[in-house]
Amino acid sequence: MQKILVARPMFAEVVERLKQYFEVDWNTGDVLGAEALTQRLADKDGALTAGDTVSAAMLAAAPRLRVVANMAVGYNNFDMDAFNAANVLATNTPDVLNESTADFGWALMMAAARRVTEAEHWLRAGQWQKWSYDGFLGADIHGSTLGVIGMGRIGQALARRARGFNMQVLYHNRSRVAPEIEAALDAQYVAKEELLRRADHVVLVLPYTQENHHAIGATELALMKPSATLTNIARGGIVDDAALADALQHKRIAAAGLDVFEGEPQLNPALLAQANVVLTPHIASATEATRRAMANLAADNLIAALGVGPNAGHPPNPVNPQVSGRPRR
């Protein structure tokens, strides 16, 4: 029987499915550090990860490893050059999380614009004595201009929701999307700088790559309206968190909604000190149904990539389909 690692605590029924095909080493404890993960991968044919860093050194130390299935759409935790060089397949879990993640982008954007958590903290602190005409004045969502940076599947799901709020939609992306999609979303393609200048609410939904590192820093924040909000449901590192904390502190933008952070789960303390930012612990895809769908899709990929099950040899979501796969050992 082939051996696999399930690197994280996981829905038990998904692990049961995997046990039908594989000898499973399941880490039900804390997140594995680099050394422990290297050791646990060393004798495995496949692995199911969720955001765990998989490096060139780990692949080199695991000669049997043929596939790593990530329970996430983003796979910046994988060194893809090393995967390609070592002939190891990587898979991800696109699509099943689009709608839940887009819902959450709206939740954060609206909470930031309408100061929901700031007001709640104040209420819980017992400071609510009287109604006030100017208490927690925020910015409108309806009728405003939405700026979506990253018009992939989640960006499109996010933009689709703007119609009900009568918003104008601007977007920026590496390349323009098809005219039919632009027309269906009533979305206008603009340069990043123009989007930042014009949008009332900017939402980031682009993948993390080296080129996107600090795509939003002090220069970009300075282009935004002082009344604007910034929401990040993409990846930590796309925003320069120190520059954002500074912009929030000096009210160069009105508010932010952040689900992802540089160096998470550690946060830049300067962000924690700001009242005008809504902070959540990387939960944009976290609904019961969506996380189950992601886990099952990661398992589907692993099972098929290791040549067993109903779709043997045809994993649904290969990230690097060009690799021919390592020979079996």
Please name which of 218, 238, 82 lies closest in space to residue 149, comparing C-alpha atoms: 238
Let me know if 257 is exposed, middle or buried by CB neighbors in 10 A (0-12, 13-18, 19+). Answer: buried
- Report H helices in the chain: 12-19, 34-41, 56-60, 80-86, 98-113, 116-124, 153-160, 179-185, 192-198, 218-223, 241-249, 269-272, 288-305
Instruction: Write out the binding residues for ligand 8YV, residues 83-112 only, by CB under 6 A.
Output: 97
- Active-site residue, 288 included: no
Q: How many residues bind ligand 8YV (CB under 6 A)?
A: 8
Greatest CA separation for the chain: 72
Q: Does residue 207 touch ligand 8YV according to CB under 6 A? A: no
Minimum CB separation of residue 226 from ligand 8YV in Å reads: 30
Between 138 and 236, whose beta carbon lies closer to ligand 8YV? 236
As a whole number of angstroms, the distance between CA 78 and CA 319 comes to 11
* Nearer to ligand 8YV among residue 200 and residue 300 (C-beta): 300
Least distance from ligand 8YV to the Cβ atom of residue 97, Å: 5
Burial 17-40 (b: 16+ CB within 10 A, else e): bbeebbebebbeeeebeeeebbeb
Among 72, 86, 89, 149, binds ligand 8YV (CB under 6 A): 72
Q: Which stretch binds ligand 8YV (CB under 6 A): 67-75, 224-232, 236-244, 297-305?
A: 67-75
Nearer to ligand 8YV, 145 or 285 (CB): 285
Angle at 262 between CA 242 and CA 122, to 5 degrees: 65
282 is catalytic: yes
Q: Among residues 5 and 97, whose Cβ is nearest to ligand 8YV?
A: 97
Each residue 121-140 as x (binds ligand 8YV by CB under 6 A) or -, in order, gives --------------------
CA distance 113 to 206: 21
Binder to ligand 8YV among 98, 156, 231, 285 (CB under 6 A)?
285
Contact 67, 91 (CB under 8 A): yes
Taking the least distance from each CB to ligand 8YV, the nearer of 51 and 217 is 51
71 binds ligand 8YV (CB under 6 A): yes
Q: Which residues in 206-221 are b (16+ Cβ under 10 Å) and which e?
A: bebeeebebbbbeebb
Give me the catalytic one of 161, 213, 282, 292. 282
Is there binding between residue 154 and ligand 8YV (CB under 6 A)?
no
Q: Which of the stretches 21-29, 66-74, 112-120, 267-275 binds ligand 8YV when contact is defined by CB under 6 A?
A: 66-74
Q: Which of 18, 50, 205, 228 binds ligand 8YV (CB under 6 A)?
A: 50
Per rule CB under 6 A, is residue 47 in the interface with ligand 8YV?
A: no
- Catalytic residue of the set 114, 172, 235, 291: 235
* Contact flag: residue 325 with ligand 8YV (CB under 6 A): no
Residues 151/173, Cβ–Cβ less than 8 Å: yes
Q: Is 121 a catalytic residue?
A: no
Identify the burial level of 11 via C-beta atoms within 10 angstroms of its C-beta, where 0-12 means exposed, 13-18 middle and 19 or more buried. Answer: middle
Distance of CA 62 to the CA centre of its chain: 28
Residues that bind ligand 8YV (CB under 6 A): 50-51, 71-74, 97, 285
Q: Catalogue the active-site residues.
A: 235, 264, 282
